[in-house]
Chain A
């Protein structure tokens, strides 16, 4: 798509250099731990070594004697203010600090306040806690067995560990379709718990100003307004009122969903600051981050497809057990306890479908959607793409051919899926075809056959995913009741420059650039002259933040709409200046000109100046607009990925030889930034496929609690990604754009898993769970008698 604006204006389609980079390349970013306030104190947290234990006593005597330690806060302290429990974003409850028992290893038990970072650490070491271990529940299936220890003893009438049951689709019609099918395939798969591990951990500085009664919290948060409202609702009874709470999200070193939840550390630091009257800084270290903060995945899925002999899929059924840890604190929209899992019919025209998800409590940290997953879409797409390959294998059909046969055809869009979504637009065939052409699919199949004959293991895996982004329309989506619109406040200055504030919050996605490019596209003001701000709840319009790839679909749209409101006022001003009727004016590329007399025109800059110096009588001065955008629908980016792997028969090590990614995210604002999002998403898709997993032993001990065992890929493990595009605009988005941040994390794992299974398919292998470790592969080879 050719840009309509010049590079100097920098509207959509230009790969303009990022406006936020000058500070980052100089090391002048402003992250939470960079901020120092006068009189600031430090907080560090005592954590439980046990996954489930009664707290018999907490002895703070030694800790209080450590030089520099001022106070130790426990659950008892917070209970006085009824702050020891707090609501989660899913309307469950979780502890801030326990008064009776702990429910996961590394849970917060007490907090030390000290005059320095080092003294706080010494204080933590000196707090003595006496625990009485309780039976631990780590297996979610066992958690549902009769007689399993009931974990949430704080809930008066709770007699089991169930959290929710959710379903979508037509159970009876689906059963009938399965009964009538020629072919049925079924596969159980486990998608393990993983952790997003942004390079910056979480933290905050809570600063309660006693004189003005104002609380300011600098916080690593992707959703500052939501946090502010939650604080006001939770702590209103201790005198915190929403207009006197300011949440500031400065530069964030990666979010990916891990910086959405309200962590106990934020609340404790705030309570400490309110009580002491000084700023309190809390910055978690990496092991705390990995062991206590919100996780993602942990879905046990049984997926089934029914099909005709010729490969036409007729029905889909999925049953999932969702391990949520000890509280349901997943940051899903409230009516969607399993997120957008019902996208699991994927890119295929599946007429009948039924899915059900059961959530269960275990002795693990709470969370669920904190890893670039678009609200459980990674799980859904992994399941459909794996079961599709299982079907292809059963039918002895090429997996590309099977997909092509079942893709929703272009003419059927907007497409109503069997599980209730209306996909806005899609053209799946060309994307898959492009991927096949770019990777040389036919030649690879030939090579595979030759290699197989020599006993060499090589696999080709395809993933054709549909994403679902931009939560979301107010009729379906809310978080804690707050609708999921987003917003833009745009003001043009007399000299034709602009400031644009949004309700979202970039953690590296480049909003300072891309939002400016949207304004440039709509108004012709150069993107370089548009200042973009986010993250300060005192100034930014209300928004639900940035996660689940929602920024472009919601706030980006709000930016376009605000700009269009300004354009309408600008038209009237131009008409006044040119002494014509507004209907006699034509807008193009930054100016209004008179129909039939194009030399008579006014630029947006001239109009802006006039808005303050010569506005029409009867009209307000100024040139600004606010838009709260309620998206009419979600957006549905898609793509096809193909991965080639070679497997070392001796060690089981999987090496990705090539990976081609064809993405379609509709109209593109900044191609370079989109590619960056895809590269990053691909590496974060490869990671869970081959390397990352958080697991627990039977005592609830976290087995991957540091970077020693939680294996984040380096530049050596991460392949050189090859990326391509097709463009199918969204019909309902003002810019035709769809969003892209998480597509690659969704599409990549099944492409890799499918490639490995493909490499072993001739041995009779149908499925391998991720992460596909060398030992898993080696065991299969050994079992099949083909190890080195």
Chain B
């Protein structure tokens, strides 16, 4: 439980942090909340020569709606997301998500940026961000780079974030009226990673049909999974039980879970289906549908 030695830097500004990242390259890691990184280092499953702590840099923690987006600073703590009134009332899918990340103590340190940047398919925000169609803002030595979330997750523990960049902001398009979302996570106990989880964000049209939908799954593949086929299927249809059921089938089909203590491949895939059905149903209810 003791990490191997490393050097630690606590830059006071973002340019300083970026300079350090450029200097040390792959031998450096960003320390944000540390709740994924420090456990790895303590078990000596990962190693680094330099920790660049971005905890002293002002202006990285905020939640505000601006110019058509909900903008969240990369270092915003999960507990702040959970407590945010804007998020609870207008982005319930995100409130659902923040509430089930690890446990309340971990959430006081863990950050949304860390949760996305770690590239762990077991983390909860990635699927939600896919469902919301979010954008990731990475700041590097040459300035800001905005990436659609669909291009962010490359593989197991690999994201599009470069080693000389810091994830400084997440942007979520403000949903139109008649929108609702939900994140449902099946976990063996509080604090566990998802056996499977489903994120559903729905906008209903005037006639009650689905106008827009984002659907994604947690921990049933090496990366978070966007259920694109299921999304396409839903658009334009009324969200009745049969339709939602068919969409959930399609979503489960694109999952490729690995067997572990949380469940067999078959069970996890089936749970992806069950949770997707339930998440869609709840999202539709919250969107004002029935």
Contact = CB atoms under 8 A, between A and B. Distances in A.
Q: Do the two chains belong together in a single complex?
A: yes
Interface of A: 117-118, 121-122, 125, 285-286, 650-651, 653, 691, 703-704, 709, 711, 713-714, 716-717, 773-775, 778-779, 782, 787-788
Contact of B274 (A118, A285, A651, A779): A651
Interface in B148-195: 186, 188-192, 195
A122 B3 CA distance: 9
Contact of B278 (A121, A650, A714): A650
A717 B189 contact: yes
Given A650-B278, A778-B270, A125 B44 contact: yes
Given A121-B2, A775-B263, A714 B190 contact: yes
B1 interface: yes
B274 A704 contact: no
B271 A651 contact: yes
A716 B263 CA distance: 21
Given A650-B274, A711-B192, A788-B274, A778 B261 contact: no
Contacts of B8: none
Chain A to chain B: the 4 pairs with minimum beta-carbon distance, closest first: A121-B2, A650-B274, A775-B267, A285-B1
Nearest to A788: B274
B189 A714 contact: yes
Contact of A653 (B1, B5, B186, B192): B186
Contacts of B5: 122
A691 B274 contact: no
B2 A117 contact: yes
Given A117-B2, A650-B274, A651-B274, A714 B188 contact: no
11 contacts: A122-B2, A122-B4, A125-B44, A650-B278, A653-B186, A703-B261, A711-B188, A711-B192, A717-B190, A775-B267, A779-B267
Interface in B252-290: 261, 263-264, 267, 270-271, 274, 278
A731 to B, nearest CB: 44
A125 B263 CA distance: 33
Contacts of B1: 121, 285-286
Interface in B1-41: 1-2, 4-5
A594 to B, nearest CB: 65
A118 B2 CA distance: 6
A24 B195 CA distance: 38
Contact of A704 (B189, B191, B261, B270): B261
Contacts of B261: 703-704, 709
A788 B2 CA distance: 46
A43 to B, nearest CB: 13
B271 A713 contact: no
Given A714-B103, A775-B264, 5 more contacts: A121-B2, A691-B189, A714-B190, A773-B188, A774-B186
A546 B278 CA distance: 50
Given A775-B263, A775-B267, A125 B4 contact: yes
Contacts, number: 48
Interface centre among B4, B190, B261, B264 (most CB of A within 10 A): B261
Contacts of B263: 774-775
A110 to B, nearest CB: 17
A782 B4 CA distance: 48
B191 A714 contact: yes
Interface in B89-105: 103
A715 to B, nearest CB: 9
B2 A711 contact: no
Nearest to B103: A714
A629 B78 CA distance: 58
Nearest to A653: B186
A294 to B, nearest CB: 21
A463 B171 CA distance: 55
Contact of A713 (B2, B103, B189): B189
Contacts of B267: 775, 778-779
A787 B278 CA distance: 14
A542 B1 CA distance: 37
Interface in B177-221: 186, 188-192, 195
A520 to B, nearest CB: 41
A285 B270 CA distance: 37
A651 B190 contact: no
Nearest to A124: B2
A404 B203 CA distance: 59
A720 B267 CA distance: 30
B75 to A, nearest CB: 26
Contacts of B271: 651
A367 B267 CA distance: 33
Interface string B102-120: 0100000000000000000
A684 B149 CA distance: 43
B35 to A, nearest CB: 14
A678 B44 CA distance: 40
B5 to A, nearest CB: 8
A711 B192 CA distance: 9
B189 to A, nearest CB: 5
A125 B4 CA distance: 9
Nearest to A706: B43
A713 B189 CA distance: 7
Contacts of B192: 711
A715 B48 CA distance: 36
A427 B4 CA distance: 61
Contacts of B264: 775
A703 B262 CA distance: 11
Contacts of A778: 267, 270
Contacts of A788: 274
Nearest to A122: B4
A429 B208 CA distance: 60
Contacts of A773: 188
Contact of A716 (B2, B189, B195, B274): B189
Nearest to A713: B189
Contacts of B270: 778, 782, 787
Nearest to B196: A651
Contacts of B2: 117-118, 121-122
Interface centre among B1, B103, B192, B264 (most CB of A within 10 A): B1
A714 B274 CA distance: 25
Nearest to A44: B2
Nearest to B188: A711
Nearest to B186: A651
A773 to B, nearest CB: 8
Contacts of A779: 267
Contacts of B4: 122, 125
A716 B188 contact: no
Contacts of A286: 1
A255 B264 CA distance: 34
Contacts of A709: 261
Interface string B222-233: 000000000000
A691 B188 CA distance: 8
Contacts of B195: 774
Contacts of A691: 188-189
B189 A711 contact: yes
A714 B271 CA distance: 23
A717 B186 CA distance: 13
A716 B188 CA distance: 11
B184 to A, nearest CB: 10
A650 B274 CA distance: 6
Contacts of B186: 651, 653, 774
A143 B140 CA distance: 59
B190 A716 contact: yes
B207 to A, nearest CB: 29
Nearest to B192: A711
A52 to B, nearest CB: 23
A34 B188 CA distance: 34
Contacts of B189: 691, 711, 713-714, 716-717
A778 B278 CA distance: 17
Nearest to A716: B190
A285 B186 CA distance: 29
B105 to A, nearest CB: 11
Contacts of A651: 186, 271, 274
